[in-house]
Amino acid sequence: MNMTSELSLANLNHLAEKYLERISLAKDISELEQVYQAAFSRKSGEISNIMHELKDLAPDKKKEIAPYAQDLRQKIETALANKKIQLGDVSQDQTFFDATVPSKDSGRGHIHPATQVIWEIEDFFRSLGFMILDGPEVDSTFFNFEGVNIPKDHPARDMQDTFYLDENIALRPHTSNCQVRAMREYGAPLRAIVPGRCYRNENRDARHEHTFLQFEGFMIDEGISIANFRDVIDQFFKRFINEKTETRIRPGYFPFVEPGFEFDFKCFCDGFCGLCKGTGWIEFGGAGMIHPNVLKHGHIDPDKFSGWAFGFGPERLAMIRKQIPDLRLFRSGDLRFLEQF
Ligand SMILES: [Zn+2]
């Protein structure tokens, strides 16, 4: 049998009938696969061979046969695809999507441990009459720095080095960027907390991350003093650590407050443990009386009003309470971690 007789129209029609019949009779996917191989296997498939041989035909013969051969190939491919769907194996067929098929059970999720603790903290401050505010994560250097008393070229900018989009726009290194915004919007008296995501140019380790959460809080009114802060933070630790814990404040430097201090709470241990490194106290956050310059930027009269502000990491609270050893776990997306909470 020579090539031209194999590639006659009659022969193509015969092949079409043969394959369409085999396809319609296929009872399962493996049988269908055999038909596919017989037709389209690269080395020995009948249809593949025909398509290959078309190339060697004389031009006028090729012109006559080629459209029929293409038509044959298409008919068989379509019949195979339809039969495949009919047999229920649609996984390979990207064009087919049945929205009515129930999804595989993906398990039931829950709130992220960092969000859980944020909600709890919000609840606490709401009960004390604080507003919960939100602000931009990408902000001008004025609200990020100058507004909170960190002038250009001040060394304190190194403490909160962040990522700059250009000279005047940066990812906020703290939620303090909302302090001046809130003062301008609401004026005094003012009680607010600002939870949110912050960014720093940090080397990552168990305690440091380039992306982390922060809680900023402030209270501004006539006659506000450190005593008010101590009361609030005492209640905070009694609620989140335990009833018996004590609070301590000690001097610390933060450019946006004057005076500034750090606040700690008494460790769970009786003297020595890894958490407090034997000091008996756990460092928790920074705070202080809002600097008069910051009040001025917020259009609040520092001769009439005073206020305190604090900041801490809610993830740190979650780490202490739930004994989480590494800050990086929060953003790891690792289900083995998340499923524990
Ligand atoms: Zn301890």
Residue 243 Cα to ligand 1 middle (Å)? 16
> Which DSSP category does 331 fall into?
G
Confidence band of 285 (pLDDT split at 50, 70, 90):
very high
* Rounded Cα gap, residues 101 and 331, in angstroms: 33
Residue 39 Cα to ligand 1 middle (Å)? 75
State which residues have CB under 5 angstroms from ligand 1, the bound ion: 267, 269, 273, 275-276
Residue 277 Cα to ligand 1 middle (Å)? 6
pLDDT score of 137:
94
CA proximity to 132, closest of 239, 230, 218: 218
Residue 240 Cα to ligand 1 middle (Å)? 16
Which residues contact residue 256 at a Cβ distance below 8 angstroms, ignoring those fewer than 6 apart? Answer: 148, 149, 150, 176, 179, 288, 290, 291, 294, 309
pLDDT in tens, 9-38: 888 888 889 999 999 998 888 888 899 989
Residue 118 Cα to ligand 1 middle (Å)? 24
pLDDT score of 5:
47
Residue 139 Cα to ligand 1 middle (Å)? 39
Considering the domain delimited by 113-338, tell me its CATH architecture. Answer: 2-Layer Sandwich (3.30)
Residue 205 Cα to ligand 1 middle (Å)? 22
Q: Does residue 75 have a pLDDT over 70?
A: yes
Confidence band of 4 (pLDDT split at 50, 70, 90):
very low
Summarize the confidence of residues 163-174 as an average pLDDT: 91
DSSP sequence for 190-243:
EEEEEEEEEE-----BTTB-SEEEEEEEEEEETT--HHHHHHHHHHHHHHHT-T
Residue 266 Cα to ligand 1 middle (Å)? 8
Residue 6 Cα to ligand 1 middle (Å)? 89
Query: φ, ψ for residue 11 (rounded to 5)?
Result: -65, -40
pLDDT score of 189:
95
pLDDT score of 92:
53
Q: Does residue 2 have a pLDDT over 60?
A: no
Query: φ, ψ for residue 307 (rounded to 5)?
Result: -165, 165
- Domains of the chain, by residue range, sit at 3-86, 113-338
Q: Does residue 329 have a pLDDT over 80?
A: yes
pLDDT in tens, 84-108: 888 876 555 555 667 777 777 777 7
